[in-house]
A and B are shown apart, each in its own frame.
Chain A
């Protein structure tokens, strides 16, 4: 006798512990299986792009902090690159290294959080998350030494960085790097070969390479699908042309690979931080630029970086005034979200949560 069942529509979010912010999914379930998915976002819309038209070029740096609030250094970097292109300013070498160093530290912090919450979504009771946060706290302490802030750093400025690093920053960084190896090894031992993690994530929510490219997905999500596209290699900015690093690429495109790519990228980032410490030389940390910037009217610039979530870009149009005519943000999280439906339909409720975690979206960036 066939059992009569009927589909059930459930709103996952906007208040839900695993949607990484105020994100809502209207999901139609057949039992546990997903039939339809409709992502709904905009709950965190703060009008960043419009606000940017009212601020001067230096003030906009603080707005970029609040986009992807777990990797604000990298947001600063993308914006500053765009402004520097508008003005045609040459950034001093020391500032380039400081930017690379802080951006890589921020990438480690962001990926640690991504990994931690991914495992939280898998159902661990916070242990890997807490392990990850232990190291992340250290990085935030380092940022506090640099600029006084931990999350919304606003450390970079058009033309360089806000301040040179204080003297006690370098020993603290050395100590962090020394401790980090052991701490990170603990996380890896706890989770990387865990049988349940394998069972839950291998082969789940496959993202084929052609779809990933067509949807212009970027970052670790794209690299987990088999492409080695990375702006740090393809179009090196700041000091990345002098850095030696590998791009971790996985070919499966499943949840485990997205997770694995992040794990490996942390190793590469730490490698780059060590190179920065070796190569950095004394010098000015900021180019001589006026306080109020007035790029020429009609100038356009596109500053892009490989952020922790993918390709982050700022498109700026100047009208000769002290604030931009238009500031467009190309946020990786929003574009990575476009493949949600393909990734989720046909999988189960539990997989849906894990897949969202593996995309590592940040709602501050999606809604802007």
Chain B
């Protein structure tokens, strides 16, 4: 009995899935081999994301150590690379506390609810040629829908912990996530317009030049919005260390804490992966038929480095300034970008509705001008808003008279 996957199946494009399915299908019934292949893919996905999260936690700690003029973890393994493993063991054997007033069920679900969207996002991201687990035709929509689960998880954590700091963190986190969802969606619409599809595979193949050049404003908005959704400085209000200690996950310890941390570090990687796919032409590059995964990982690494760099440098914004930044700065920018892109696509497309590379270059030129002008104008506007009138106080040194 030989099972063959039809091309109409969303998993048809995944080469590994088909290999496992065919191989197992020789011994098992088709439905069972489908399940087996699916579980195998899921194992790869979950473990890949968790391993990546562990690795990234080490890389980021080393990097931030360097930014701090420190060495960073260097004790276990070459350059301390086994540090995440040591942390994991430590957290696993720690007592897993649940506060007395906590809502036990919700409290326990939270770590899983936080990790799930991070893993789920990776399901549609192609990390080399034909390696996306599911080639959804609504991939962008799926990513946006799945990442929204995080806001519910954060609110659950804050509510279930029975802690006022956690409640602060949760309300901040939800406010930030809901506000930043809007400009992020708007900025992605520009990309979808240019690519003419919501499937991530199509978006990659449409990127004859990276959309970073074609959609600079959208990239800026998406990057800022994503770092807000990831709760990283300068937008890390939901877990502001110096204000509300750890925010929504203040009461978590042991393995639950490990899962939440894994979700946070993993989220940086998956967000970078999404950004690479949408703006940096994904796995494509020289010899991408064979080295696609290398290009993909390299681009993720560059973005993750930028995330770490920003995290190590900037102070935190206040909640009202953060929301103002979303609604008064990022949202207008993304709307301008959407309109500009829509007009350009309308005038530049050919009869079949397609754009060729020269059209993309023209769009890149126009959009860079638009982005520069917009950032200049809005930057000045916001600067005047946030700086009180008058000269910078304290600009004088007055010699005191001794008497």
Q: Which residues of A contact B (CB under 8 A)?
A: 8, 10, 16-18, 31-32, 119-127, 130-131, 134, 190, 194-200, 202-203, 224, 228-230, 233-234, 236, 241, 246-252, 254, 256-257, 260-261, 264, 348-351, 353
Contacts and interface: CB of A to CB of B under 8 A. Distances in A.
Contacts of B236: 123
Contact of B67 (A127, A247, A348): A127
Contact of A261 (B69, B165, B319, B394): B394
Nearest to B235: A123
A196 B316 CA distance: 7
B83 interface: no
Nearest to A204: B318
The 9 lowest CB-CB distance pairs between A and B, nearest first, are: A123-B316, A250-B394, A252-B393, A233-B400, A122-B315, A130-B68, A247-B400, A228-B400, A246-B397
Given A198-B386, A199-B386, A350-B240, A246 B398 contact: yes
Interface stretch (B128-136, B259-267, B306-314, B343-351): B306-314
B402 interface: yes
26 contacts: A10-B164, A10-B165, A10-B168, A32-B168, A122-B315, A123-B234, A123-B240, A123-B241, A123-B316, A125-B233, A126-B64, A127-B313, A199-B317, A199-B386, A200-B315, A200-B321, A233-B401, A246-B399, A247-B400, A256-B393, A264-B394, A349-B244, A350-B240, A350-B243, A350-B316, A350-B318
A199 B321 contact: yes
A123 B233 contact: yes
Given A202-B388, A230-B400, A119 B69 contact: no
B314 A249 contact: no
Given A8-B164, A17-B245, A130-B68, A350 B319 contact: yes
A16 B315 CA distance: 19
B388 A127 contact: no
A120 B242 contact: yes
Interface residues of B, number: 46
A198 B375 CA distance: 19
Contact of A257 (B168, B383, B386, B394): B394
A125 B72 CA distance: 14
A293 B396 CA distance: 46
Contacts, number: 135
Given A10-B164, A123-B234, A252-B393, A196 B317 contact: yes
Contact of B314 (A196, A261, A348): A196
Interface in B297-327: 311-321
B70 interface: yes
A224 B396 CA distance: 11
A124 B240 contact: no
B75 interface: no
B387 A233 contact: no
A130 B396 contact: no
A249 B396 contact: yes
Interface string B110-137: 0000000000000000000000000000
Contacts of A199: 317-318, 321, 386
Contacts of B237: 350
Nearest to A249: B398
A11 to B, nearest CB: 9
A351 B320 CA distance: 11
Nearest to B321: A199
A350 to B, nearest CB: 5
Contacts of A248: 394, 397
Interface in B370-403: 383, 386-388, 393-394, 396-403
Interface centre among B167, B171, B172, B241 (most CB of A within 10 A): B241
A34 B339 CA distance: 42
Contact of B233 (A124, A203, A254): A124
Contacts of A203: 388
A131 B386 CA distance: 27
A240 B236 CA distance: 46
Given A198-B387, A202-B387, A125 B64 contact: yes
Interface centre among B165, B398, B403 (most CB of A within 10 A): B398
A247 B312 contact: no
Contacts of A256: 393-394
Contacts of B315: 119, 122-124, 194, 196-197, 200
Contacts of B171: 31
Contact of A224 (B168, B245, B394): B394
A257 B243 contact: no
A17 B241 contact: yes
B379 to A, nearest CB: 9
Contacts of A247: 397-400
Nearest to B317: A196
A127 B312 CA distance: 6
A264 B167 CA distance: 40
A254 B67 CA distance: 30
Contacts of B314: 123-124, 194, 196
Given A196-B317, A202-B388, A249-B396, A349 B243 contact: yes
A208 B178 CA distance: 39
Contacts of B321: 199-200
Contacts of A241: 402
A105 to B, nearest CB: 21
A192 to B, nearest CB: 10
B242 A353 contact: yes
Nearest to A18: B242
B141 to A, nearest CB: 31
A302 B398 CA distance: 28
A120 B68 CA distance: 13
Nearest to A250: B394
A348 B168 CA distance: 12
